[in-house]
Amino acid sequence: MNQDHLKEEVINIIDNDHVGVLSTMQENKPHARYMMFFHDELQLYTATNKKTHKVDEIEDNPNVHVLLGFNENEKKYVELQGKATLVNDDQLKQKYWNDQLMPWLDGPNDPEYCLLKIDPEHIELIEGNNETTIM
């Protein structure tokens, strides 16, 4: 499979399984939680409240790990390692707002609403025993 096709497969998984696991480091130990992910190509974003532990953890150590995919219909999944940064860009916050975030945030203009931008450093597409490095 060529790199363009692999990239398309990864983007397809992100589109179809936008809820995944974000792992940060808390006191030098992994801390994982489910998050909703949005993307621009392979650039990931996830919405959060500025006053959460994950924001503090990322400020202390920006290295994160994301798992997306694998369900009863699709046995492929994506593992992504990267660096996360806090983003307060109003246009991006409007673009990626989703009403499913209402339990945690009051809306796209909530002053506590921010995005975590995840710059991928390593991406693998995994299906069964086959692991393919995308980048």
pLDDT 10s per residue in the chain (135 long)?
678 888 888 898 888 888 999 999 998 899 999 999 999 999 999 999 999 999 999 999 999 999 999 877 767 899 999 999 999 999 999 999 999 999 999 999 999 999 999 999 999 998 877 777 776
Decide the pairing of beta strands 76-87 and 43-49: unpaired
Q: Which pLDDT score is estimated for 109?
A: 94
Residue 34 CA to residue 96 CA, distance in Å, equals 17
Q: Which pLDDT score is estimated for 78?
A: 93
Q: Which pLDDT score is estimated for 129?
A: 75
Q: Which pLDDT score is estimated for 5?
A: 82
Decide the pairing of beta strands 63-69 and 130-133: unpaired
The residues, ordered by sequence, that sit 6+ positions from 8 with a Cβ below 8 Å of its Cβ are none
Beta carbons of 92 and 86 less than 8 angstroms apart: no
Which domains does the chain carry? 3-133 (2.30.110.10)
Q: What is the CA radius of gyration of the chain?
A: 15
Beta carbons of 119 and 83 less than 8 angstroms apart: yes
Q: Which pLDDT score is estimated for 1?
A: 60
Q: Which pLDDT score is estimated for 7?
A: 87
pTM of the model: 0.89
Beta carbons of 38 and 45 less than 8 angstroms apart: yes
Beta carbons of 58 and 52 less than 8 angstroms apart: no
